[in-house]
Amino acid sequence: MRPEDDTRPDPEALLRQATQEGRGRFKIFLGAAPGVGKTYEMLTDGAARRRDGADVVIGVVETHGRVETEALMRGYEVIPRRSAPYEGHILHEMDLDAILERAPRLVLVDELAHTNAPGSRHPKRYQDVEELLAAGIDVYSTLNIQHIESLNDIVASFTHVRVRETVPDNILDMADIEVVDIPPDELIERLRAGKVYLPREATRALSHFFSKSNLSALRELALRRAAQAVDAQMLDHIRGLGVGGTWAGSDRIVVAVSELPGADGLVRAAKRIADALHAPWTAVYIETPRAQTFGEAEHRRLASVMTLATQLGAVVATAPASSVVAGLKAFLADARATQLIVGKSRRSRLFEFRHGSVVDRLVRETPGVAMHVLPLQTLSGRRMRLPVLKGTWGSRSGYIWTTMMITGITAIASTLFHILNLGNVALLYLLPVMAAATLFGLRTGIFAGIASSLAYNFVFLPPTGTLTVNNPENVISMLVLLGVAFVTSQLTARVRAQADMAAASARTNAALAGFLRRLTPLNDPLDLGRAICEDVARLFDLRTVLLMPDGSGLSFQAASGPKYDLETMELAAAQWAFDTGAPAGRSSGTLTASDWYFHPLRAGDKTQGVLGLASEDGGDPLRPDQLPLLTSLVDQAALALERLRLEEEMRDVDVVRTRDRLRAALLSSVSHDLRTPLTAVMAAAAELHHGVTPDLISTIESEAARLNRFVANLLDMARVEAGALNLKVEAVDLADAVAGAAHDARRALEGHALDLRVPPDLPFVRVDQQLLHHCLLNLLDNAGRYADPGTPIIIAGTHSYGMLKLSVLDEGPGLPPGREAEVFETFRRMEGSDRAVGGTGLGLAIVKAFSEAMGMSVEASNRPDMSGACFSLCFPSTLIVRDAAQGADL
């Protein structure tokens, strides 16, 4: 909460405005019911933008067979919908990717609350719209009031129809709203004329949903909700500008509550006023230093009042301040409140003379706010007494130190009086007075003032040795000492209260920072749940438990200690908190018989889980002044859980995208690499009718071998991804392995001379001979595809420093610098890979997978001596056979 005279722009409002930079503008055409003309109005506004030169397209518009709507669509570019098969049917959905690729200035998207077909990128259409907005595309959309999440129950209560397709309320808060409204009688006439539904459907609708009473109530809801959204946007805008004033476009009500008996009556009165004005309202408690003196009864009474306000629909807040008046003034200015409801208790005239009247000061100092002053109902008509501050009379040590300081000053003053003939020693007594008032408080300071006056009178004022005062000037000196004591102690008390508030704020900020710092690096749900429970338990000295949803309800995720046994009542309270998104259990007003207090962990429009808290002694878990800190911690915990959920979803999305990319690449490979050899085989087979020649037989054999190699690669990759490789490790002579691979790859190496540089004395290696053969075949096939025509291909073997390498080198353009490792990715298309010239994109990926399965590694690089690529199979020392006996044992 900022000071009430602070006219600087609100940082949070500026941050929200900054997040809108680069995003598209969003406009919702809001209606009370189907048929009011939302789509018609959206198309009309879109046509106006198109006439102004804007690039406008239709993403999806549902005409429902209405001729007027279909006529307005003429002239628009319509993005074709995508087909989505579902349970034997073909559904047609908005093509989000096509719109993003087209990138218009404005896109029209009808029926914002629509649920997308299963398998779509987003389950809801409003999430598609959010992605369009994030891409900088303006969006116009339509929505009926019954589809707003927070109004779903209200609409169902009088229409007896529960709408299942809803959008979260924050969607309205981020949009410009245009209410499309017609009177209920006119809408009913449109319905009867068949302009909304077919005649048979219209007759049924008139007798159920489209009654005049329902339409009137829906119309009121639409107008009221639009006004609330506009008011919230207006407040956010003026806060960003730092403009003062209440800006009373609509009423905003604040009720000030306290720990005094009768505060619950203020809350009920505020509820009645807010309902009569259809206005939002807030219950605020101003936490002053006096709150530190509250006993159990005061804390319990304040918690009860705040719980009642929550149950009646208020937003509750706690604002620390040095005084009630200062806190209320700052809160009213920050909330832009137009009405304030306060209670006035019975006080004696002496009390009001000493402390002043809070109500009178508020009336004088908040001229732009209407005041409702209600009498607080006291028990048995007795006057209420404020709790006495602990230590208000000071400590014994304070009085002792004060007496010692006065005695010392008296001794020093007496010495100076006789030696230096100092005339006025009264000023010396200001030292113990100011010290006592500063260090020990008001009462001790006044004691110091009285004691100093008496000492000064007794020792220095004639007649000395008595308390008689002959000179009126000396009376003034004594009064000055008392005045200094009073003023100093008051200033000290104010500074101390501000210091206590600053320290409390610093402790809260430190707790939040430490909590967030601990949660941020955690990526495991169990570790995160444990950290949440342990930190909350430590900060509030409570038992804590975290419950998360599973397939059958809520289950234990973590706890601050041994697993706590929750009874049926506790589990019911936790489930209720999860389902409704509101606290339940002890001190909440719902299922209060539970020993646990359950607070939902909500992030956005989704409840992530439930945090349970219980006191060791069975009392209320939290005091009202602790609720703001708990709320902040719960928000941070919910965001951390949401982060893990989103990370998991992103991993799933990446898997799906990878699968889709592989599927598309596989289809491309199959369509090309199967068709080419099949075409050659079919042509050769056709020529067989005219006679058999060696060339035809050779063509059929080579292309069939090519087909077989392609299918083998597909099967090998499937085995790798399924983890179904069964290794048959044996001692292998690399010279024999290279010779066998060169022989089998001779067709792929036509036009290239093969230079074998494998020393015959290379040691044996322990590998799977068949997998090594596949690796060498794929490397040679890749080299034959990409090497320049007529250039030699080299197979070289080296053994040094415990590492044995078998390399295949070609002469060609080589690999893109810095991207050599990418050639081993499945279906990777890049210069220098086997995909670049008629390959499948599987060969090198298979080489890498097989090599790693055998404990080897594979490297790709550019030749240092000339242009070309070098692929090396690396055998570590653990795979090298040291002697013949070792090889014979295999």
- The CATH code of the domain that includes 607 is 3.30.450.40
The domain boundary residue, chosen from 241, 266, 290? 241
Position 289 in a domain = yes
Residues 145/222, Cβ–Cβ less than 8 Å: yes
For CA atoms 628, 538, 575, 596, the dihedral sign is negative
Burial pattern 303-320, b for ≥16 Cβ within 10 A else e, equals: bbbbbbbbebebebbbbb
Position 294 in a domain = yes
Same domain (yes/no): 531, 462: no
Position 137 in a domain = yes
Beta bridge partners of 549: 554
- Please state, in angstroms and rounded to a whole number, the distance separating the CA atoms of residues 753 and 795: 11
Please give the pLDDT value at position 580.
82
**DSSP H helix total and E strand total for the chain:** 28, 25
User: Which residues, other chains included, contact 850 with Cβ-Cβ below 8 Å and sequence gap of 6+?
Assistant: 716, 720, 725, 768, 771, 772, 774, 775
- Please state, in angstroms and rounded to a whole number, the distance separating the CA atoms of residues 626 and 29: 42
Residues 141/58, Cβ–Cβ less than 8 Å: no
Please give the pLDDT value at position 410.
87
For CA atoms 34, 36, 40, 46, the dihedral sign is negative
- Please state, in angstroms and rounded to a whole number, the distance separating the CA atoms of residues 712 and 50: 56
Q: What stretches in the chain show pLDDT beneath 50?
A: 4-5, 379-391, 831-838, 885, 888-890
Same domain (yes/no): 216, 260: no
For CA atoms 469, 472, 474, 475, the dihedral sign is positive
The domain boundary residue, chosen from 222, 241, 260? 241
Which range marks the domain in which residue 413 is found?
Answer: 396-495
Phi, psi of 253 (to 5 degrees): -110, 140
- Please state, in angstroms and rounded to a whole number, the distance separating the CA atoms of residues 848 and 362: 78
Same domain (yes/no): 860, 754: yes
User: Which residues, other chains included, contact 171 with Cβ-Cβ below 8 Å and sequence gap of 6+?
Assistant: 28, 112, 126
The answer, as to whether pTM is greater than 0.75, is no
Burial category of 30 from C-beta neighbours within 10 Å (exposed 0-12, middle 13-18, buried 19 and up)? buried
Same domain (yes/no): 489, 535: no
- Please state, in angstroms and rounded to a whole number, the distance separating the CA atoms of residues 796 and 799: 10
What 3-state DSSP class applies to 716? helix
Going by C-alpha positions, the residue among 847, 241, 376, 296 that lies closest to residue 623 is 296
Please give the pLDDT value at position 386.
44
Going by C-alpha positions, the residue among 167, 176, 177, 56 that lies closest to residue 108 is 56
Residues 765/840, Cβ–Cβ less than 8 Å: no
Same domain (yes/no): 637, 767: no
Q: Are strands 77-78 and 56-60 parallel, antiparallel or unpaired?
A: parallel
Q: What is the CATH number of the domain that holds 270?
A: 3.40.50.620
Please give the pLDDT value at position 207.
54
Burial category of 725 from C-beta neighbours within 10 Å (exposed 0-12, middle 13-18, buried 19 and up)? middle
Position 704 in a domain = no
Q: Are strands 543-550 and 553-559 parallel, antiparallel or unpaired?
A: antiparallel
- Please state, in angstroms and rounded to a whole number, the distance separating the CA atoms of residues 5 and 832: 69
Number of domains the chain is built from: 5
Q: What is the CATH number of the domain that holds 159?
A: 3.40.50.300
Going from the C-alpha of 144 to that of each of 64, 128, 212, 219, 754, the distances in angstroms are 16, 18, 17, 10, 74
Going by C-alpha positions, the residue among 698, 694, 769, 756 that lies closest to residue 728 is 769
Position 667 in a domain = no
- Please state, in angstroms and rounded to a whole number, the distance separating the CA atoms of residues 609 and 620: 22
- Please state, in angstroms and rounded to a whole number, the distance separating the CA atoms of residues 628 and 508: 9
**End-to-end C-alpha distance for the chain, whole angstroms:** 78
Same domain (yes/no): 285, 234: no
Same domain (yes/no): 311, 214: no
Kindly calculate the radius of gyration of the chain based on its CA atoms and give it in whole angstroms: 41
Position 215 in a domain = yes
Quick one: angle between helices 769-786 and 694-722, nearest 10?
A: 120
- Please state, in angstroms and rounded to a whole number, the distance separating the CA atoms of residues 742 and 780: 8
Burial category of 783 from C-beta neighbours within 10 Å (exposed 0-12, middle 13-18, buried 19 and up)? buried
The domain boundary residue, chosen from 650, 672, 687? 650
Q: What is the CATH number of the domain that holds 788?
A: 3.30.565.10
Same domain (yes/no): 231, 259: no
Residues 208/202, Cβ–Cβ less than 8 Å: no
Position 838 in a domain = yes
- Please state, in angstroms and rounded to a whole number, the distance separating the CA atoms of residues 337 and 245: 9
Same domain (yes/no): 62, 120: yes
Position 170 in a domain = yes
What 3-state DSSP class applies to 83? strand
Same domain (yes/no): 256, 235: no
Q: How many CB atoms lie within 10 A of CB 95?
A: 18
Going from the C-alpha of 332 to that of each of 98, 367, 376, 698, the distances in angstroms are 49, 11, 21, 92
Residues 263/309, Cβ–Cβ less than 8 Å: no
Q: Where are the alpha helices (DSSP H) in 52-177?
A: 67-72, 96-102, 125-134, 152-159, 170-173
Going by C-alpha positions, the residue among 299, 228, 325, 314 that lies closest to residue 266 is 314
Same domain (yes/no): 326, 406: no
Residues 832/822, Cβ–Cβ less than 8 Å: no
Beta bridge partners of 176: 27
Going by C-alpha positions, the residue among 494, 488, 258, 212 that lies closest to residue 376 is 258
Same domain (yes/no): 303, 232: no
Residues 876/803, Cβ–Cβ less than 8 Å: yes
Residue type, 638: A
